[in-house]
Chain A
Amino acid sequence: MGNLDLLLQGFGDALTPTYLLYALAGVTIGTAVGVLPGIGPAMTVALLLPITFTLDPTGAFIMFAGIYYGGMYGGSTTSILLNTPGEASSIVTALEGNQMARAGRGAAALATAAIGSFVAGTLATILLTLLAPQVADLAVKLGPQDYFALMILAFLTVSAVLGASLVRGLASLLIGLSLGLIGIDALTGQARLTLGIAQLADGVDVVVVAVGLFAVGEALWVSSRLRHAPAQLLPAAGPWMTRDDLRRSWKPWLRGTALGFPFGTLPAGGAEIPTFLSYATEKRLSHHPEEFGHGAIEGVAGPEAANNAAAAGVLVPLLTLGLPTSATAAVLLAAFQQYGLQPGPALFETNSDLVWALLASLYIGNVLLLVLNLPLVGLWVRLLRIPRPYLYAGILMFAALGSYTINLSAVDVALLFVIGALGFVMRRYGWPVGPAVVGLILGPVAEQQLRRALAISQGDVSTLWSTAFSATVLAVCAVVIAAPLILRAIRRSPTPDEVHR
């Protein structure tokens, strides 16, 4: 019961007026920025990092938890009411939610998304609270070779899952790893890849890269082919959820949670896969399969729940192992590092107060978000009308501000814009940017663990698969590499025939 006491103590911390205010500010800003078109959750967190720099760590992370969950809620509003699909993880919500809004049932779609997010978010946060301390207890026993194997797995799955093309995912990952190598080598004090530029000796700041790739890259990409007629905005019209809607929604909420949470905890790219799975499940189980594609409420309820449950699930490996499994989690990890905190099993020992206050604030944030989203949805919808030139000018302004405040140096702003240009090129050719951020953050840690493992074994490479855990994880890695190749080989052989008929 020790954990329950710790959680109650966390609530005690998180419910103080100051922290409650931070939580409220976090969810409000998170929702507002998440609603803005073109801004996904990863970009929301990256852009808002500088706001929290002046707070104490606990306050900052309470605010972050709010921004993180708020960004998830806000995204659904965008995908339901704008008649163009946004980023990949909200495509599924857009499928049915958009159709519902077109049929004049926008209000019901928004309501089932918001309540589903609340139900899933709360259940998943309970699971997180139960699971995380257990995982942390196990993780304490892991050696450097185990961590190294886990990171290889994360590299592979993130490259394979985020984005449609494996080779482009790997290219993005390697860009991140290269950026991570820049700077003074921690163990020998030698400069690597600094091109003789003094400011690069400390390495490239993760926040600058994340903001550059997500915010500036996106702004440049959108600017290069901006719609001249802005996307049509559908009204949040129609009756609120009816009794029938509720009857049809509650099971998808629960099933979505059950799919989303475990997938979130795996190093497999976060929310995209479970939302697709949830959609497929609901379509199969529905009594009204003919409505799918024309605005079936189950198709909004399930994936939205899965999305939010996955968001909580992602926090399990992040907090207990220091392993980010999605782009957003990678940015959150960067936030921890800004405060000199390294998420991992030790965090539960050394910063127990902070961790439990953070977990408690997740519950509070969910309640606040339900309150903010149900009655106030009309207010958020207005944000969708912001004229695009001002929106993207504002994104650039904020991105530059954030990078400047890290070291109070215009060099970082220059670096930001250079990385933004890189982000533009990557978007232009469909290279996913998520793996780059994960590679940048995990690369140096992976190198450290590898060198530590080999130093302990005095250079014996077999140490890398010497424990049952590391051997299992590396075997999974092999499957991850081999499976698509085998599948492709099987699929390729019969196709030419089929095409001709």
Chain B
Amino acid sequence: MSQATTDRRGLTEILPAGLLVLVGIYMIVDGHSLRTPPTEGAIGPRFFPYVVGVALVVVGIWLAVAVWRGDRAEPEAGEDVDTEATTHWGTLAALAGLMVLYVLILDPVGYLLSTIGLFAGTAYTLGARNPRSLVAVSLLAPFVTFIVFTRLLGVYLPNGILQAVI
């Protein structure tokens, strides 16, 4: 991997840095709409949003400039992270889709079925291909969790369309 490509790739960090600046500006504007009651003494509810907002703008610009000048931080390491690899956007897109779906169906369909879907979908996306173990683990893990939490710990989880059966 040559130095030039690494440098160019890291430049996208300017995007999150710019986002910090935008959030900071929004925070200052939002803070401006707050009213300070006279009893509150000196600073009231506006002060902290102002401070944090200004700090966000400053740090965002500072970071963007640093990145522009070639400052890069190591991405986080981990036991299962391949530091040589590039981001698999397909995997991330699939996981994002699963998450959105899960949030939408959790209450109507019920905990058990939606979680089986989330588990199986995630495991398959990450490369679990043996059909027998994929089905077995994806059924077993959510089921055991469901039983432990609802029956043993007394936590409510939505039954959804299985209402009649469970």
Contact = CB atoms under 8 A, between A and B. Distances in A.
A218 B78 contact: yes
A231 B118 contact: no
B27 A181 contact: yes
B60 to A, nearest CB: 7
A170 B27 contact: no
A186 B117 CA distance: 41
Contact of B91 (A193, A223, A410, A459): A223
Main secondary structure of the interface of B (DSSP, over half): helix
Given A37-B79, A167-B63, A394-B141, A388 B74 contact: no
A193 B30 contact: yes
B45 A454 contact: no
Contacts of B16: 425, 429, 431
A188 interface: yes
Interface string A160-172: 0001110110110
A458 interface: yes
B155 A226 contact: no
A344 B47 CA distance: 25
A454 B72 CA distance: 40
Nearest to A90: B79
B75 A428 contact: yes
Nearest to B74: A430
Contacts, number: 234
Contacts of B99: 417, 420
Contacts of A82: 79
Contact of B23 (A78, A178, A228, A417): A178
A154 B127 CA distance: 42
B43 A38 contact: no
A224 B88 contact: yes
A300 B69 CA distance: 39
Interface in A414-457: 414, 417, 420-421, 424-425, 427-431, 443, 447, 450-451, 454-455
Interface size for chain B: under 10, 10 to 19, 20 to 34, or 35 or more residues?
35 or more
A430 B99 CA distance: 24
B24 to A, nearest CB: 8
A226 B77 contact: no
B91 A224 contact: yes
B46 to A, nearest CB: 9
Contacts of A482: none
B107 A392 contact: no
Interface string A87-108: 1000000000000000000000
Given A54-B154, A400-B118, A455-B40, A413 B106 contact: yes
B165 interface: no
A393 interface: yes
A87 to B, nearest CB: 7
A192 B34 contact: yes
Interface in B120-142: 120, 122-128, 137-138, 141-142
Interface string A31-47: 00000011000000000
A178 B73 CA distance: 23
A23 interface: no
B18 to A, nearest CB: 12
B27 A168 contact: no
Contact of A174 (B59, B123, B142): B59
A85 B126 contact: no
A458 B41 contact: yes
A390 B118 contact: no
A225 B30 CA distance: 38
A430 B76 CA distance: 5
Interface of B: 10, 13, 16-17, 20, 23, 27, 30-31, 34-37, 40-45, 47-49, 52, 55-56, 59-60, 62-63, 66, 71-83, 85-89, 91-92, 95-96, 99-100, 102-103, 106-107, 111, 115, 118-120, 122-128, 137-138, 141-142, 145, 149, 153-157
Interface of A: 37-38, 50-51, 53-54, 78, 82, 84-87, 163-165, 167-168, 170-171, 174-175, 177-178, 181, 185, 187-188, 190, 192-193, 218, 220-228, 230-231, 387-390, 392-394, 396-398, 400-401, 404-405, 408, 410, 413-414, 417, 420-421, 424-425, 427-431, 443, 447, 450-451, 454-455, 458-459, 461
Question: Which 7 pairs between the two chains have the least Cβ-Cβ distance?
Answer: A430-B73, A459-B42, A389-B126, A389-B128, A37-B79, A393-B122, A225-B85
Given A231-B79, A393-B141, 19 more contacts: A37-B80, A54-B154, A175-B20, A181-B49, A192-B30, A193-B49, A224-B92, A225-B86, A230-B80, A231-B80, A390-B137, A400-B115, A401-B149, A404-B106, A413-B102, A425-B16, A427-B75, A429-B16, A443-B52
7 contacts: A37-B79, A178-B52, A187-B40, A190-B34, A227-B82, A401-B145, A430-B73
